[in-house]
């Protein structure tokens, strides 16, 4: 089949603002959008810039807007988006070049929620591991799946309004550790997210949940953080 891609282009060295360039080429319905972007870069225009690494939905580096929706280019098949495809950078972050945005504000917010295991107590007697029941592990299973692609945060109108908002990705990662019963910093993290630029900036818009390529129930997770703050309970 023949596909036409309308791609947002911006080169800070020569452009005042972005513009679109159009490429028409042959593709298989089972090609991924990433395959076609690679072909355009390899055969038509080597200056086209976008991030990608694993090409298998794991590294989270190729989130972009495809026909107006945040998706991973490596997980999106041509047959699912049609013959005319518009490709743009995600919203809410500064464009560095073409489809590449400045992820620093995103990762700054991520770091604020202490996204790592904290437990300074001595290891159990066998010195090997801190055991956890399957039920306790299940409590935060969904939020362990995050690959930090940013598709959620950059689809959230509250984040578009202000990148001071921690955003759904940071809150998902706060949830992952707050509900881990082996961790000892839940209270500290709850204090961090209990803020007008924390969970209370979420207005339950659900764009994040729709955008997540890992199908994490993000709005539900943020709701559980709000509930924990209101009740003082983590169950």
Q: Residue 214 CB, nearest distance to ligand SF4 (Å)? A: 4
Q: Which residues bind ligand SF4 (CB under 6 A)?
A: 60, 146-152, 168-169, 172, 211-212, 214, 216, 218
Site string for ligand FES, 15-54 (x = CB under 6 A): -------------------------------------xxx
Asked if residue 196 binds ligand F3S (CB under 6 A), the reply is no
Q: Which does 151 bind (CB under 5 to 8 A by kind): ligand SF4, ligand FES, ligand F3S, none?
A: ligand SF4
Asked if residue 77 binds ligand FES (CB under 6 A), the reply is no
Site string for ligand F3S, 208-227 (x = CB under 6 A): x---------xx--x-----
Q: Which does 204 bind (CB under 5 to 8 A by kind): ligand FES, ligand F3S, ligand SF4, none?
A: ligand F3S
Contact residues for 205 (Cβ-Cβ < 8 A; gap 6+): 156, 157, 158, 219
To 5 degrees, how large is the angle CA 103–CA 106–CA 109? Answer: 150
Site for ligand FES in 129-188 (CB under 6 A): none
Q: How far apart are CA 81 and CA 51, in angstroms?
A: 20
Q: How far is CA 41 from the centre of its chain?
A: 24
Asked if residue 58 binds ligand FES (CB under 6 A), the reply is yes
- The residue within the footprint of ligand F3S, chosen from 76, 109, 158, 173 (CB under 6 A), is 158
* Interface with ligand F3S (CB under 6 A): 156, 158, 168, 202-208, 218-219, 222
């Amino acid at each position: 089949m023949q596909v036409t891609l309308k791609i947002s282009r911006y080169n800070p060295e020569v452009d005042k603002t972005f513009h679109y360039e159009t490429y028409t080429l042959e593709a298989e319905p089972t090609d991924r959008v990433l395959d076609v972007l690679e072909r355009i870069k390899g055969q038509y225009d080597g200056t086209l810039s976008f991030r990608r690494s694993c090409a298998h939905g794991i590294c989270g580096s190729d989130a972009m807007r495809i026909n107006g929706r945040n998706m991973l280019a490596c997980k999106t098949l041509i047959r699912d988006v049609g013959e005319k495809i518009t490709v743009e950078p995600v919203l809410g972050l500064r464009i560095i070049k073409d489809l590449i945005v400045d992820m620093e504000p995103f990762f700054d917010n991520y770091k604020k929620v202490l996204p790592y295991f904290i437990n300074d107590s001595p290891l159990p007697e066998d010195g090997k591991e801190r055991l956890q029941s399957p039920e306790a592990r299940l409590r935060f299973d969904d939020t362990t799946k995050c690959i930090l692609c940013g598709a959620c945060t950059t689809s959230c109108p509250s984040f578009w309004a202000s990148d001071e908002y921690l955003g759904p990705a940071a809150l998902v990662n706060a949830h992952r550790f707050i509900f881990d019963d082996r961790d000892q910093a839940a209270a500290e993290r709850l204090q961090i997210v209990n803020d007008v630029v924390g969970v209370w900036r979420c207005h339950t818009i659900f764009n994040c949940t729709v955008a997540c390529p890992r199908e994490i129930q993000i709005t539900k997770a943020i709701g559980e953080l709000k509930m924990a703050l209101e009740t003082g309970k983590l169950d």
